[in-house]
Amino acid sequence: MDRGVRDILSMAIVTVLCAGLVTTPVRADATAGVSKPGSPLGYVRSLALVAPAGVDDDVPGVALDSYPIVSRTVTGTIDAFPISLPPEDKRDVYSVYLAPGEQITLDLTGPAGNFDLLLLGPNTVSVNAPRYVQIGDTAGSTEHICYTAAGLFGAGTYYVVVTTDNAEGEYALSWHLSGRSDGNVPGTRLESRMVTGTVDPVDDPDDVYRIPLEVGQTLTVTVTVDPWGETIGLYVLPPRWDNAGIWETTTDIWFCGDATLGQGSRVTHYVYVEEGESIAGDYYLDVYAPDVPVGYTLEWEVLPQLAPGAPLPPSPVKSDLATRTVYEMRLRAGDTFRGSIDASPGAWVWGRLYAPDGSVVWENTSATDPKPFSYATPAAKEGYYHLELTPWIAGGSRLDWSIRRATARVQGSDRYLTAIQASRSAFKDGADVVVLASGANFPDALSAAALAGAYDAPLLLVKPTSLPSAVVDEIERLGATRCFVVGGESAVSAGVASGVSYNTGIVPVRVAGPDRYATAAEVARRVVDRLGAEYDGGVFIARGDIFPDALSVSPLAWRSRRPVLLTRPTVLPSATTRVLEDIGATSALVIGDGNAVSKPVSLQVAAIVGSAERVSGTDRYSTSAAVARWGVARGIAEYRTIGLATGTNFPDALGGGIATGAGRGVLLLTRPDVLSGPTSTLISTEKSSIRWIRVFGSSKAVSNTVTGVVDVLMK
């Protein structure tokens, strides 16, 4: 995907460069500062990176991403012409981890002469046996590399080498690691019918979008370029991407080439995903700039399935049935699909219902009308079902149908296994990143929702001093290549982090501060750094001494990728004050009434960010319902998916809130033995929009009496 990979230089050049690399160990010092002007984080801190003797001369080098904010400059000195011992120091080596789709930008400036900049791929064992990704070897000592982790090399630890054959002196290496999820697979999910963007062959060469297609669907893609007469490229790529970041096939479905388009000119492409010839799944659209920066508008449409089934129309479905007709619907575990088929006098219609595996789970056994049917979906047969209507004697027909959505319980034998089940329910196809937090206490996990959302990741819980083996198994099932640990070592010990590394090969990145408020602030910085220009300026403010309000907003934080910052009820912590200014927040939603977050605190937040809105209820249950309504009203969430958890304890809702956010849903709280009134009212009012209700936790957390009441409300 990355054109830097497509244009890797020949091994003849590589051989020449390798000839100048020397392995004599020396001591090097490097000083790190923070983000360049114009970055989202407009403040400056520094961190001295001091490498032991010889560490910077070869792999693994000095780690660049050891500081929470991954945007800074390092300095160093290399010398090809020493006048005294020790011998020459002709290179400095640094290491940095790139997750799939992440982009690194490197800018090197040095003295007169010629300094070169090399980017080496994962599995490089030595600079004398390199895996070259890109080489900056322009004349002089000013070099630039921009690379998105993709294609041949995928995710892993990369190595940055500053080297020279004939120059000496001090250099400055500016680097920025951004979570450009739109730069590579899996890209940005297409949800609106029209998106606009800009691509730049130097620093933003690709914008990648993904869209799910089922067998039989037709995708229409239209690209309009701006300004007139510029050049743009478009790939349409198949769903053949694996978790290691490697394309299983190099064949493009369609490639428009580097087409020169005028203002308002269009390139339209049709992809018909036909049964037996193509596969269903996420397809990828790669818009790229071959020559110069260019703006574009991308419009798309997916036409309904023609085979094997058309979407089931609203009941009743009346038609003059002359040929075989197949309707499709998706059923989840516990759903009951019921109705009847009634043919006009003289007509005869035969009906069959097919499960996802193709087996017939119902067919009418009589010619008598109406023909009733009722089918309860077992857990093992979730998926797309097909209702076939075949006219044996053509004529009019009427299909009446309904789907009663049952509550589905997501649970394990303890809080750690429940979080794993929540991850499995929402991330069936895996995830590149996983977030870990303590399951023994709630504060760190409360702020982790936005971090998980920024990386499309689940949240798993660990014990403070031990790593459950089931968590290791889930990380491996997800296929994750990156891990964040939220909280200090008193919350999640160094031994647990080491256990992750030992068992999975992933070195976790810890995001923490000296207390819960500072940890939430560090998480916010990490989120905004990940999002870059995509950050919309919003934050959520909730009290940090109890859990319900922050839990209620966690699905919205995951979905909107807005940080959750914690406060004391009557005092805004200094760490929270600083981070509101640092990240450039422009709006805040305060969760809870004046007892949860006092009016003076709310006013102080408003004075910093510009506006602060409050959402609250009379108790934790009505507050959760109010938060849900707020999220749906602003388009962050939908009522299609409801997460339900106890409001008297925190563990089940920690992972459940993230899983609900991944499903674009809302989280409601209830008492363990009685369905809370505000939750009951919302479900009753919005039941026509609700498709799935997931209850997180066992019957001890949310009783069967409560789920029974929910089932009655949904009838």
Backbone angles phi and psi of 52, in degrees to 5 = -60, 160
Alpha carbon of 529 to those of 186, 217, 485: distances in Å?
Answer: 19, 38, 17
Q: What is the mean pLDDT of residues 98-116?
A: 84
Is the pLDDT at 600 greater than 70? The verdict is: yes
Which secondary-structure segment (H or E) carries 328? Answer: strand 325-331
DSSP state for residue 204 in the 8-state scheme: B
- How far is Cα 214 from Cα 194, in angstroms, rounded to an integer? 21
Question: What pTM does this model have?
Answer: 0.59
Contact 158, 145 (CB under 8 A): no
Q: Select the more confidently predicted residue: 553 or 1.
A: 553
Greatest mean pLDDT among 25-39, 259-273, 692-706: 692-706
- How far is Cα 417 from Cα 108, in angstroms, rounded to an integer? 48
Output the six-digit token pair for 273: 């995903």
Q: What is the mean pLDDT of residues 581-594?
A: 96
23: pLDDT confidence band, cut at 50, 70 and 90?
A: very low
Residue type, 260: T
Alpha carbon of 454 to those of 343, 475, 521, 542: distances in Å?
Answer: 53, 18, 15, 19
- How far is Cα 412 from Cα 419, in angstroms, rounded to an integer? 8
Backbone angles phi and psi of 650, in degrees to 5 = -100, -30
366: pLDDT confidence band, cut at 50, 70 and 90?
A: confident
Q: Is 38 exposed, middle or buried (0-12, 13-18, 19+ CB in 10 A)?
A: exposed
pLDDT in tens, 134-182: 888 788 889 988 887 765 677 789 999 999 888 888 999 988 877 656 7
Q: What is the mean pLDDT of residues 247-254?
A: 36
Our measurement of the distance from residue 224's CA atom to the centroid of its chain's CA atoms, rounded to an integer in Å, reads 28
DSSP state for residue 263 in the 8-state scheme: B
Strands (E), 428-514: 433-438, 459-462, 482-486, 509-511
- How far is Cα 541 from Cα 386, in angstroms, rounded to an integer? 46
Output the six-digit token pair for 100: 């799939």
Q: Spell out the alpha helix ranges (H) of 479-619.
A: 494-504, 516-531, 548-560, 574-582, 599-609
Our measurement of the distance from residue 142's CA atom to the centroid of its chain's CA atoms, rounded to an integer in Å, reads 35
* Count of residues in the chain: 715
Mean pLDDT over each residue of the chain, to the nearest integer:
80
Assess whether the previous peptide bond of 678 is cis (omega < 30° from 0). no
Q: Which domains does the chain have, with CATH numbers?
A: 3-179 (2.60.120.380), 182-303 (2.60.120.380), 310-404 (2.60.120.380), 408-714 (no CATH)
Q: Select the more confidently predicted residue: 192 or 294.
A: 294
- Give the side-chain half-sphere CA count within 13 A for 631: 33
CA-based end-to-end distance of the chain = 49
pLDDT in tens, 296-345: 888 887 765 544 567 788 889 888 877 778 888 888 777 889 899 988 88
Q: Which pLDDT belongs to residue 209?
A: 87
Q: Which pLDDT belongs to residue 290?
A: 78
- How far is Cα 158 from Cα 588, in angstroms, rounded to an integer? 38
Q: Is 226 exposed, middle or buried (0-12, 13-18, 19+ CB in 10 A)?
A: middle
Output the six-digit token pair for 85: 């011992």
Contact 547, 571 (CB under 8 A): no
- How far is Cα 337 from Cα 5, in angstroms, rounded to an integer? 51
- Give the side-chain half-sphere CA count within 13 A for 610: 8
Q: Return the closest-CA partner of residue 670 out of 564, 548, 557.
A: 548
435: pLDDT confidence band, cut at 50, 70 and 90?
A: very high
Q: What is the mean pLDDT of residues 668-688?
A: 94
The position carrying tokens 């809302």 is 666
- How far is Cα 667 from Cα 679, in angstroms, rounded to an integer? 10
Is the pLDDT at 489 greater than 90? The verdict is: yes
Our measurement of the distance from residue 140's CA atom to the centroid of its chain's CA atoms, rounded to an integer in Å, reads 40
Which residues lie below 8 Å from residue 630, measured CB to CB, with a gap of 6+? 556, 589, 615
The position carrying tokens 């949904």 is 714
Q: Spell out the alpha helix ranges (H) of 1-78.
A: 3-6, 11-18
User: How many other C-beta atoms are found inside a 10 Å radius of the C-beta of residue 563?
Assistant: 30
